[in-house]
Amino acid sequence: MTNLTIRTAELDDLTACHTIECNCFPAAEAALTSSLEQRIIEYPEGFFVAELDGRVVGQLNSGSTDKDDITDEEFKQLIGHDPEGKNIVIFSLAVLPEFQHRGIADQMMTAFIKQSRKLDKKNILLLCKDNLIPYYSRHGFTDSGISESNHGGATWHEMALAL
């Protein structure tokens, strides 16, 4: 895909990112526009989008913290976010359904891991459902077990990649 660009997000991408969020996650799990806006404004270096033929079709966004407990719901609105924190925490990785299975998420993840090293982070942390454990394992993440988070009423695994 020569016409695919992975780049950091800008405020102009907000509507597209919210559309992706709503198309990829159940309503109880999807981030609010206001949370996505805050993440773009406060931590653009941790927010990547995938642009295919000029259209934003995927996103990966995050926050940073020194804490190892990532179950705090307020953190998703970047309350407690510390850009100098040792951990970088992925909130959403999502690609519009009609553009999935083309390696777009892989490319965003590769760019994100590179960026996390550049930002001198020690760990990338995330919560995921059990069906995606093999996917993140492919990128080197290990499963730390079931999380105490019940975000959206679901069961989540904590996964970590030491950098």
Ligand X SMILES: CC(C)(COP(=O)(O)OP(=O)(O)OC[C@H]1O[C@@H](n2cnc3c(N)ncnc32)[C@H](O)[C@@H]1OP(=O)(O)O)[C@@H](O)C(=O)NCCC(=O)NCCS
Structure tokens at 14: 């907000």
Indicate the residue among 43 and 156 with the shorter CB distance to ligand X. Answer: 156
User: Which residue in 78, 128, 157, 161 binds ligand X (CB under 6 A)?
Assistant: 128
Helical ranges in 6-61 per DSSP H: 14-24, 33-42
Nearest to ligand X of 84, 97 (CB atom): 97
Does 131 interact with ligand X (rule: CB under 6 A)?
yes
- Distance in Å from the first CA to the final CA of the chain: 28
CB of residue 66 vs ligand X: minimum separation in angstroms? 22
In the 8-state DSSP scheme, what is residue 31? P
CA distance 96 to 84: 31
71 burial type by CB count under 10 A (0-12 exposed, 13-18 middle, 19+ buried): middle
Cα–Cα distance list, 139 to 13, 24, 49 (Å) = 26, 21, 18
153 near 25, Cβ under 8 Å? no
The pattern of x and - marking residues 10 through 49 that bind ligand X according to CB under 6 A reads: --------------xx------------------------
Among 6, 89, 93, 124, binds ligand X (CB under 6 A): 93
Instruction: Scan residues 95-114 and list those touching ligand X (CB under 6 A).
Output: 95, 100-106
Distance between CA atoms of residues 151 and 40, nearest Å:
22
Listed ranges 30-38, 77-85, 88-96, 115-123: which one lies at the site for ligand X (CB under 6 A) = 88-96
Provide, rounded to whole angstroms, the least separation between the CB of residue 158 and ligand X.
11
Tell me the number of residues near ligand X by CB under 6 A: 16
From 22, 132, 160, 163, residue interacting with ligand X (rule: CB under 6 A):
132
Interface contacts to ligand X, rule CB under 6 A: 24-25, 93-95, 100-106, 128, 131-132, 135
